[in-house]
Amino acid sequence: MADLRTRYLGLRLPSPLVVAASPLTREVACARALEAAGAGAVVMDSLFEEEVIEDARRRAADLQKDIDRGGTQGRHPAGGGCLDDYLERIAALKAALEIPVIASLNGVSASGWLEHARLIARAGADALELNLYAIPADPRVSAERVEAGYLEVVRALRRELTLPLAVKIGPQFSAPLHFARRLAQAGADAVVIFNRFYQPDIDLLRRVVVPRIQLSHPQESLLRVRWAALMAGRVELEIAVTGGFHRPMDAIKALLAGAQVVQMASALLERGPEALREVHRGLDGWMQEHEHPDLDAFRGSMSYLRAADPGGYERANYREALHGFSLPPDLCP
């Protein structure tokens, strides 16, 4: 068996296959099964500041109703609720697993990011992934302002916490490498590329906007592989990839491009721990076949810095791909 151990965020992982933020860690039993199948770490589903606020409001309203009715059993809104559940889950996962537990946070306000990150650190998480997911829907807000806001969050958390920080970003940046560099300067340890944004759909019958979650397709992994290759060794961050990693070959490509770890969610939601076991087995088999004793023997060998034809990751490839496309002969009879 090849040596699949790796380091990520200063932590020791038995494999580079990480369970991506998702409901998969809501049950300890499920997280355990994924660990047994070869997961190197788990990322918990995000704690959303908005939910914590709504939860506190709802419970404060319940308490008030209770008091108005003359009840004496009023539950205090500061205790219990989704925040406490989340913190308790960190402790439960830490107690049940040997692999690292990475918490995930999606904040709204500066104080919310900070306060919740502190609580997560105190609850014993091994690292924190920041889910930077805000839709810039206001046309008056420039790209600079959006980026400055993100960087300020990272800086503020870095000043306060010693916890390793990964930052999960979406693909919609004009200059992802430059932004990644600035994340490193702000104190991030890793960048997670790229979140998948769930596109709201329009229901044609009812003419309403409806939420739609569609699981990913392996084709989507190529966007991540390309940017991992472009970033590897050129930004002072470890790179985690997420989005479309279903098969051993998808994970192998990401590692060749320079990713430190490969996160998986959709494949596991579709097929359970067996999907992780298959990728683990496939990666191990491929490394043995190619006589790579460990991950460092080949990681990054297809990155922009080290590939024989780095131009392939740039524009040259785009023109070739377009010009090389031939129309089927009987397309327009």
State the nearest-atom distance from the C-beta of 279 to ligand FMN, in Å: 11
Pick 6 or 22: Cβ nearer ligand FMN: 22
Q: What's the closest the beta carbon of residue 247 comes to ligand FMN, in angstroms?
A: 11
Binding mask 21-60 for ligand FMN (x = CB under 6 A): xxx---------------------xx--------------
> Footprint of ligand FMN on residues 207-246 (CB under 6 A)?
213, 215-216, 242-245
* Closest distance to ligand FMN from the beta carbon of 173 (Å): 16
Q: Which of 196, 277, 280, 299 touches ligand FMN by CB under 6 A?
A: 196
Question: Nearest distance from residue 133's CB to ligand FMN, in Å?
Answer: 7
Among 6, 15, 25, 131, binds ligand FMN (CB under 6 A): 131
Task: Report the residue from 6, 25, 195, 303 that binds ligand FMN according to the rule CB under 6 A.
Answer: 195
User: 6 or 263, CB closer to ligand FMN?
Assistant: 263
3-state secondary structure the chain: CCECCEEECCEEECCCEEECCCHHHCCHHHHHHHHHCCCCEEEEEEEEHHHHHHHHHHHHHHHHHHHHCCCCCCCCCCCCHHHHHHHHHHHHHHHHCCCCEEEEEECCCHHHHHHHHHHHHHCCCCEEEEECCCCCCCCCCCHHHHHHHHHHHHHHHHHHCCCCEEEEECCCCCCHHHHHHHHHHHCCCEEEECCCCCCCEEECCCCEEECCCCCCCHHHHHHHHHHHHHHCCCCCCEEEEECCCCCHHHHHHHHHHCCCEEEECHHHHHHCHHHHHHHHHHHHHHHHHCCCCEHHHCCCCCCCCCCCCHHHHCHHHHHHHHHCCCCCCCCCC
Size of the site for ligand FMN (CB under 6 A): 23
In the window 272-311, what residues touch ligand FMN (CB under 6 A)?
none
20 binds ligand FMN (CB under 6 A): yes
168 binding ligand FMN? (CB under 6 A):
yes
Nearer to ligand FMN, 2 or 21 (CB): 21
> Which residues make up the interface to ligand FMN (CB under 6 A)?
20-23, 45-46, 104, 131, 168, 195-196, 213, 215-216, 242-245, 264-267, 269
